[in-house]
Chain A
Amino acid sequence: MKSIRHLILALLPWALAACGPKPASTAGSPAVPTSDEEKKLNLYCWSEYIPQSVIDDFSKETGIKVSVENFSSNEEMVTKLLAGGGKYDLIQPSEYTVEALIRENQLLPINPAALGNLANISSEFRNMPYDAGNKFSIPYMAGFVGICVNTDKVKEPVKGFADVFTPAHKGRIVVLDDAREITSWAFAANKLGINDVTPENLEKVKPTLKKWLPLVKVYDSDSPKTSLKNGDVDLGVVWSGEAALLYRDDKKFAFVLPSEGSHLFVDSLAIPKMAAHPQNAHLFMNYILRPEVSRKISEAFPYYNPNSAARALLSNEEIANPASYPPAQDITRMQTFRDLGKQSAAIDELITQIKAGGK
């Protein structure tokens, strides 16, 4: 009940401000906007995805105290959010989760007037299928899933999944421990749309999966670069950011987008319906959209930065990292994951079955 009152109180000034003159801060000017809420922000984000320095600088500038809670998977976040346990002001869902949350009316619409830096977002991220027009979310970082190869150990060219999953590499492969991801690769290899998850299509890709999975040594979504670095595996299908980090430390780790097709993921920031400090949340979002701040994030997490103004600030070396910014990639051509609803269980069962050596 209290939060609803806060919500109304919070929205009132906006209603007034929307009518009145726009605030002085536009496009990244350092003027400190104010909000009428108490100076607190409950941030619920991925662990180690927002640099502490960024959070600290925000606090210093605005005087808002940020409490950070971390999650390690979208579903964990959704479970806790929907159970009502945590009262979060800002969450960091991935694109398919954004879609699901919008559908379930769990997100607060964004007030574009409060986000002066919105223009910094690159045009290809403005009208994504899961949230057209950035009504409920702004992109934080984007990335892909691709093939990372230790070129010291693997001498032949690797262009796609077919080159990865060969008997020659048996027991030397790492893949993400994500049933949905793995299935989407099989779909791509079988020329099926990655979001066309139907029981018939799952049956169609079963033989492919049965051929691929026994060749895999390690399943790891959290830190696939570990096994690559330790030499326990020679190549793998991993997040682009992980490959970028490897490449940064040692150029022997080449990265290539699979020829069969790849998809884009977009981690975003969104405001839950029951947020107690939505104004502060907007302030934080706007802060993230500043080019110099976004650049800092890119430095720490070399994914694909959706902020074009920030990209202009990146060093040549960063842009040259093939895992962060693959050459000649048309982002608009790539698909993103749509929310699958109940089918996620079917996918999980399929993969677990095959992993366990079943029929």
Chain B
Amino acid sequence: MLWLGLFVLLPTLLLILTSFSRRDDMGRVIYSLTLDNYARCLDATWLSIFGSSILYALVATLICVLVGYPAAYTIGRASPKNRRILLTLVMVPFWTSFLIRTYAWISILSQEGLANSLLLSAHIIPTPIGMMYTPFAIVLGLVYNYLPFMILPIYTSVEKLDNSLIEAAYDLGAGPLRAFSSVIIPLTRPGIAAGALLVFVPAIAMYAITTLMGGGSNPTIGEVIQNQFTRARNQPFGAALGVLLMLLFLVSFLLLGRKKSAPHAA
């Protein structure tokens, strides 16, 4: 808890301070109190960028859930030995640098890349399709990068599923679809929720992947904030955007929490 206080609280406070400040010609922060930065945030440009970033994150999260759930389910229900191996195998690609992985995808998706060559030689398409630098590429990049973040939490929920509950469902005549929708998925809901959170939240502020895969023509809020700290030399504005982002999230989290209010022990 001390850790939390020191290394999370303090930088956050600093950030909030900065967001109220001005900056000088060099881009250094002059600590002061002004609402100018927040006023700028409400400009339509930034709001629409906020919106598109949230949209990308949402789509990526959804796809991650759909793609990741069956995989997590299979791993969670495998034998204990296989479970550990499979789990680690899921993570192994992520111990290579994400830059190298993303460049590998660029070489797959680019005009003269692997995918196009295969499709062309199989005569499925007449001319190469531009897959890179499109929203498709961005979502693919996001999904690829965040899939393990979805699989891992779902796995932990699945792993402790009580087999007898599932058996009971089948015994009572439920088909697989029913068993899933009425028994299995509700039981693994904490895992899905955790996974969704772990994907959605960081994905909004993600900038490296969206810039590399998207080519920069669809700026995301992460890119904008990054720019403020680098090229635009406007740290306070970047700070303000960041604080807004966090507030947005905190508010929705608190609201959702109130609705959920799951009873805990003691």
Judge whether B111 and A178 touch: CB under 8 Å. Answer: no
Task: List residues of chain A with CB within 8 A of the CB of B128.
Answer: 231
Per-residue B-contact encoding for A341-359, CB less than 8 Å = 1, 0 else: 1101101110011011111
**A226 interface residue (CB < 8 Å to B):** yes
| Nearest-Cβ distance from residue A102 to partner chain B, whole angstroms | 11
Judge whether B234 and A230 touch: CB under 8 Å. Answer: no
Judge whether B231 and A356 touch: CB under 8 Å. Answer: no
List residues of chain A with CB under 8 Å of any chain B CB. Answer: 73, 75-76, 78-79, 82, 100, 104, 171, 177-180, 213, 216-220, 226-227, 230-232, 339, 341-342, 344-345, 347-349, 352-353, 355-359
Nearest A residue (CB) for B234: A345
**B219 interface residue (CB < 8 Å to A):** yes
Select the residue from B23, B27, B217, B227 with max chain A CB neighbours within 10 A: B217
Nearest B residue (CB) for A100: B26
Per-residue A-contact encoding for B194-222, CB less than 8 Å = 1, 0 else: 00000000000000000100011111000
Residue pairs across A and B with Cβ atoms less than 8 A apart, 7 shown, are A73-B231, A82-B26, A220-B215, A339-B25, A348-B228, A352-B49, A353-B45
Per-residue A-contact encoding for B216-242, CB less than 8 Å = 1, 0 else: 111100001001111111110100000
Nearest A residue (CB) for B232: A348
Whether A356 contacts B49 in the complex (CB less than 8 A), given A78-B27, A231-B110, comes out as: yes
Given the complex of chains A and B, what is the CA–CA distance between A342 and B112 in angstroms? 42
Task: List residues of chain B with CB within 8 A of the CB of A79.
Answer: 27, 229, 235
Given the complex of chains A and B, what is the CA–CA distance between A356 and B133 in angstroms? 15
Task: List residues of chain B with CB within 8 A of the CB of A180.
Answer: 231
Per-residue A-contact encoding for B14-46, CB less than 8 Å = 1, 0 else: 000000000101111000000000000000110
| Nearest-Cβ distance from residue B225 to partner chain A, whole angstroms | 11
Whether A232 contacts B111 in the complex (CB less than 8 A), given A344-B233, A348-B234, comes out as: yes
Judge whether A219 and B217 touch: CB under 8 Å. Answer: yes
Task: List residues of chain A with CB within 8 A of the CB of B113.
Answer: 230
| Nearest-Cβ distance from residue B35 to partner chain A, whole angstroms | 17
Task: List residues of chain B with CB within 8 A of the CB of A232.
Answer: 110-111, 130, 132-133
Given the complex of chains A and B, what is the CA–CA distance between A162 and B237 in angstroms? 34
Whether A230 contacts B111 in the complex (CB less than 8 A), given A220-B216, A352-B227, A358-B44, comes out as: yes
Whether A356 contacts B26 in the complex (CB less than 8 A), given A171-B130, A231-B111, comes out as: no
Given the complex of chains A and B, what is the CA–CA distance between A217 and B130 in angstroms? 10
Task: List residues of chain B with CB within 8 A of the CB of A218.
Answer: 133, 215-217
Partner of A345, one of B26, B130, B237: B237
Task: List residues of chain B with CB within 8 A of the CB of A82.
Answer: 26, 28
| Nearest-Cβ distance from residue A234 to partner chain B, whole angstroms | 10
Given the complex of chains A and B, what is the CA–CA distance between A172 and B23 in angstroms? 38
